[in-house]
Amino acid sequence: MLSIRNIGKTYPNGTAALREITLDVGAGEIVAVVGGSGSGKSTLLRLISGLDHPTSGTIDVDGTRIVAPHPAVGIVFQEPRLLPWLTVEGNVGFGLAHLSRPERRHRVHQALKRVGLADYALRWPRELSGGQSQRVAIARALVARPSVILLDEPFSALDAFTRVELQDHLLEIWADTRPTLVLVTHDIEEAVALASRVVVLRPFPGRVAQVSDVKLARPRDRLSHSFDDEKRAILSALDTTLARRAPPAA
Amino acid sequence: MPADGSLAIEARSEISALRRTSRFAGAYPFVAGLLLPVALGAVWEALVYFGLANGRLVPPPSAIFRTLAELSSTGELYVHIRATLLRVLAGFAAGAVAGTLVGALIGYFRRFRQLLDPSLQGLRAVPSIAWVPLFILWFGIFELSKITLIAVGVFFPVYLGVLGAIEAVDRKTVEVGRAFRLSPLGLVRRILLPSILPAYVVALRQGLGLGWMFVVAAEFMGASEGLGYLLVDGQQLGKPQQIVAAILVFAVLGQITDWILSLLTAPFLRWQDSFARAR
């Protein structure tokens, strides 16, 4: 259970990125955070991960206050960020240095199998495609068995086919152990396909504009009318936030 | 999956075939590169042999190899090689260690940079041979002044290489380390060191190359043995074949030590190597 209370973030240069964000995410929930640029959606994710610190408010995961990166929270960045000097196996096991070698190998292979890359353990990151690299990054986050996994526009750099494939794949993985997922995305379809709840942020500074449940049964049919309706609802909410406080023209 | 398997085998054999052709293509320029010096040597040898040139100032290849053989049969050559090699190794070790430490310190702690880097850049602007008189006054004319001079030559490329490499480390990569809660020491060992390693190896090789340049200057300072001594001795006694022989030995030793250095560091750069091979 992830509990965000009155989070604010103002950068030293005076820019207010987030103001008064409060959000509870239940265990096993998938929450998508959408918003225009400048709505602070990536900042919010960095605060939850403990990589950055809020200037006000608190974040708790399963009752533990987050003040620094925490093992209960895993993160998948926009880019795979694999370490080029480690094999796929080494990258996935990077955070498991405290485990014995056989235990680590076992966990790494399980995670690789889960993302469909069991045969790629000994490859170098350079030899992988974009989609494969991002799968390895997901495996690296999974392998530590965190209760919350944060995903920062994880599929935005991939082509449309690979993106849908990885979205479905992420759902399969989620169905196994039901970790809490917080997904930042600018892709409305992705939000509707994956999330049980969609948080729409309003920019300058980032605030919660709307939180809506996606009431579609899983598996979701991207071509159905109800899917379109959900998409349209979120799009209109986004439009409202953007029209109300449009960023100054650059 | 028999179909997949055979496909993979086919692909692999195709890749190894490609590698074989590229290895041949790699050997061919090497042979081509030898053509000119060998031809020139042969022509000069013939001119001297048939008395069309006297070859006193520009010795023919046979005279050079005769000199090498003589020096080698008396064991004299090995004494000189050993002296020079030890100086280069000692100076390289001292310069590389100092360059690495100072570069790492300044790269890691920004404060040190403002404090130290301007002075170091100033010192770098001094032509290193200009130190020679001072080093002789300070350290005498024997080994210490020579090794110090070589170390100074090795220091700067290693220092700059380490500093530049640390500054070039991607913030995003460092963040991966932070996300996995690495300690400062763990961050250095598991993120920074592997990140800078490729640039560090290049810096070390540059340092070694400069070490070989500076050993000659050091041995010109006055030495009773060493390849630089052979050069000076050849000049003073009018033996150009000895000078060219020493130059050849320098070239070969420089190449061999560089090759050994890359061989020793290759296992740490396998991930890069595999990239080069995949291209």
Please give the C-alpha separations between residue A187 and each of A35, A140, A183, in angstroms, as whole numbers: 10, 24, 11
- For the CA atoms of chain A, what is the radius of gyration? 18
Assign B30 a pLDDT band (cuts: 50, 70, 90). confident
Residue A249, pLDDT score: 52
Instruction: Look at residue A247 and tell me if it is in a domain.
Output: no
Domains in chain A: how many in total? 1
Q: Which member of A81, A125, A127 has the closest CB to residue B176?
A: A81
CATH number of B61-278: 1.10.3720.10
Q: Quote the tokens at residue B32.
A: 């081509």
Instruction: Look at residue A243 and tell me if it is in a domain.
Output: no
What is the distance, to the nearest Å, from the Cα of residue B96 to the centroid of all Cα atoms in its chain? 12
Q: Which member of B173, B194, B278 has the closest CB to residue A81?
A: B173
Parent domain of A14: 2-237
Residue with token string 């919010």: A44
- Contact between chains at B181 and A83 (C-beta distance less than 8 A): no
Q: Which burial class, exposed, middle or buried, applies to A116 when counting CB atoms under 10 A from its CB (0-12, 13-18, 19+)?
A: middle
Mean pLDDT, chain A, whole residue set: 91
Whether the CB of B40 is below 8 Å from some CB of chain A: the reply is no
Q: Give the predicted TM-score (pTM) of the model.
A: 0.79
Residue B279, pLDDT score: 47
Nearest Cα neighbor of A205 from A10, A1, A4 is A10
Mean pLDDT, chain B, whole residue set: 86
Instruction: Look at residue A193 and tell me if it is in a domain.
Output: yes
Residue B4, pLDDT score: 47
3-class SS of residue B159: helix
DSSP A82: -
Q: Does residue B109 carry a pLDDT above 90? A: no
Instruction: Look at residue A134 and tell me if it is in a domain.
Output: yes
Q: Is B200 left (phi over 0), alpha (psi -120 to 50) or beta?
A: alpha
Q: Does residue B26 carry a pLDDT above 70? A: no
Least confident of B28-37, B168-177, B268-277: B268-277
Assign B52 a pLDDT band (cuts: 50, 70, 90). confident
Burial code (b: 16+ CB inside 10 Å, e: under 16) for B114-127 equals eeeeeebeeeeeee
CB A162 within 8 Å of CB A134: no
CATH number for the domain that contains residue A146: 3.40.50.300
User: Facing residues of A4 across strands?
Assistant: A23, A59
Q: Does residue B1 carry a pLDDT above 50? A: no
Positions in chain A short of pLDDT 50? 250
Whether the CB of B181 is below 8 Å from some CB of chain A: the reply is yes
Distance CA B104, CA B187 (A): 14
Assign B178 a pLDDT band (cuts: 50, 70, 90). very high
Neighbours of A199 (CB within 10 A): 23
- For the CA atoms of chain B, what is the radius of gyration? 25
CB A33 within 8 Å of CB A41: yes
- Contact between chains at B271 and A86 (C-beta distance less than 8 A): yes
Q: Does residue B22 carry a pLDDT above 60? A: no
Chain A: nearest CA to B106, how far in angstroms?
A: 24
Say which residues have a Cβ less than 8 Å from residue B42's Cβ, sequence separation at least 6.
Answer: B61
- Contact between chains at A95 and B180 (C-beta distance less than 8 A): yes
Burial code (b: 16+ CB inside 10 Å, e: under 16) for B78-92 equals eebbebbbebbbbbb
CB contacts < 8 A, A to B, total 50
DSSP B126: S
Q: Does residue B19 carry a pLDDT above 70? A: no
Q: Is A214 left (phi over 0), alpha (psi -120 to 50) or beta?
A: beta
Over the stretch B192-221, which tens digit does the pLDDT of each residue have? 999 999 999 999 999 999 999 999 999 988
Instruction: Look at residue A65 and tell me if it is in a domain.
Output: yes
**% of chain B at pLDDT higher than 90:** 60
Residue B150, pLDDT score: 95
ipTM of this model? 0.86
C-alpha triplet A119, A124, A125: angle, nearest 5°: 100
Distance CA A193, CA A187 (A): 10
Residue B269, pLDDT score: 83
Q: Does residue B2 carry a pLDDT above 50? A: no
Chain B residues with CB under 8 Å of A125 CB are 271
Whether the CB of B125 is below 8 Å from some CB of chain A: the reply is no
Distance CA A226, CA B152 (A): 74
Q: Quote the tokens at residue A28.
A: 């096993």
Over the stretch B242-253, which tens digit does the pLDDT of each residue have? 999 999 999 999
Q: Which member of A49, A84, A124 has the closest CB to residue B179?
A: A49
Instruction: Look at residue A26 and tell me if it is in a domain.
Output: yes
Distance CA B1, CA A139 (A): 25
Residue B274, pLDDT score: 55
Instruction: Look at residue A244 and tell me if it is in a domain.
Output: no
Write out the DSSP string of A15-42.
-EEEEEEEEEE-TT-EEEEEE-TTS-HH
Q: Which member of A69, A83, A84 has the closest CB to residue B179?
A: A69
Chain B: nearest CA to A94, how far in angstroms?
A: 8
Least confident of A92-106, B21-35, B234-248: B21-35
Q: Which burial class, exposed, middle or buried, applies to B96 when counting CB atoms under 10 A from its CB (0-12, 13-18, 19+)?
A: buried
Q: Give helix B61-73 / helix B76-108 axis angle, nearest 10°.
A: 90
Q: Is B179 left (phi over 0), alpha (psi -120 to 50) or beta?
A: alpha
The domain locations on chain B are 1-54, 61-278
Neighbours of A186 (CB within 10 A): 16
Q: Which member of B175, B197, B275 has the closest CB to residue A51?
A: B175
CB A61 within 8 Å of CB A1: yes
Distance CA B158, CA B153 (A): 9
Q: Does residue B164 carry a pLDDT above 50? A: yes
- Contact between chains at B274 and A127 (C-beta distance less than 8 A): yes
Q: Which burial class, exposed, middle or buried, applies to A9 when counting CB atoms under 10 A from its CB (0-12, 13-18, 19+)?
A: buried
Residue B37, pLDDT score: 87
